[in-house]
Amino acid sequence: MAIGRDEVLHIAKLAHLEFSDEEIGRMTRHLSSILDYVAQLESLDTSSVEPTSHVESGAHTLRDDTLVPSMSREDALANAPEPDHGLFKVPKVIG
């Protein structure tokens, strides 16, 4: 499936991008090759493939949630430029 220069310019406008003439030509070729590949995938027979909603098997790869000692407040604040009453003092960001 070929994509034309006008379609690339339209997509660029929607994405607030500006391309030189050379870049427009390159993007046209790249997008056309992507659409050609997708067309090849659409022609595959997937009738025997079970639909999935997630790619992982459901086995969790996270570690067990176990309680471990944490850093003390003094250690956490040791390198803070301006600790204040046991807290990190940061610049005001909301007027």
CATH assignment at residue 29: 1.10.20
Domain count, the chain: 1
Q: What is the mean pLDDT of the chain?
A: 89
Q: Which domain holds residue 18?
A: 5-42
- The identity of residue 48, as a single letter, is S
Residue 14 within any structural domain of the chain? yes
Tell me what percent of the chain is helix, strand and coil, each rounded to the nearest 5.
40, 5, 55
Q: pLDDT for 12-43, tens place per residue?
A: 999 999 999 999 999 999 999 999 999 998 88
Residue 89 above 70 pLDDT? yes
Residue 11 within any structural domain of the chain? yes
Q: Are 24 and 8 in contact (CB under 8 A)?
A: yes
The values of phi and psi at residue 22, to 5°, are -65, -45
- The predicted model gives 42-52 an average pLDDT of 88
